[in-house]
Amino acid sequence: MRKRRVVTVIAIVLAAATIGVGIYNVVKNKNFWNVSVAQVLTLLVTISIAFWATQFKNDQRSAKAHAEKVIAKIQAIVSCEEFYTFIPGCNEEDAKKNYGISQRKFANCLSVLEEYGKQLGLQDDVKYIDEQFTEYKTFISDHLNDFDYLSKSEAHLRRLSENIDSKCDQIVVKFYN
């Protein structure tokens, strides 16, 4: 908070100084408004190039930043122990409800990531994540009423979770290469 105030004060002081120098220059320099067309064009071209350079691939950068947030959400979901651990004898209704919630969250994040995948060229990576999640959903759905079997299948479910997590890490690394 303090740093933000210091930056704001410095920006205000610099803006006031620039305006002051500009006013002083206009008042004291009688030839200030006498400029050639070449000077005006040079200034306009320079400003245009500077603006273009700052905006170049800005959409792609913001898409990568948002996609990275979505990937972090996916990783949080698959890293949660409830994603791959089923304890026999626990409250199975709560476990089923938690499974449904995490499945919907994951599916929503995956659909958003698919949209960014088209824009950022990540279709194959997103397809792999989708395949792993489909295998996970199918396995859980086939055995949802047999918690004893699901509890013994933790290694398989953890492997699927780690595959998704690893692919998410690979996608983030691609953003910075």
pLDDT confidence of residue 88 = 65
Q: How far is CA 105 from the centre of its chain?
A: 16
For the chain, how many residues are written? 177
**Where are the chain's structural domains?**
1-32, 58-175
Q: Could you please state the CATH topology (level 3) that the domain comprising 58-175 is classified under.
A: Four Helix Bundle (Hemerythrin (Met), subunit A) (1.20.120)
pLDDT computed for residue 4 by the predictor:
86
**pLDDT bucket at 90, cuts 50 / 70 / 90:** low
Torsion of CA 122, 128, 134, 136, to 10 degrees: -120
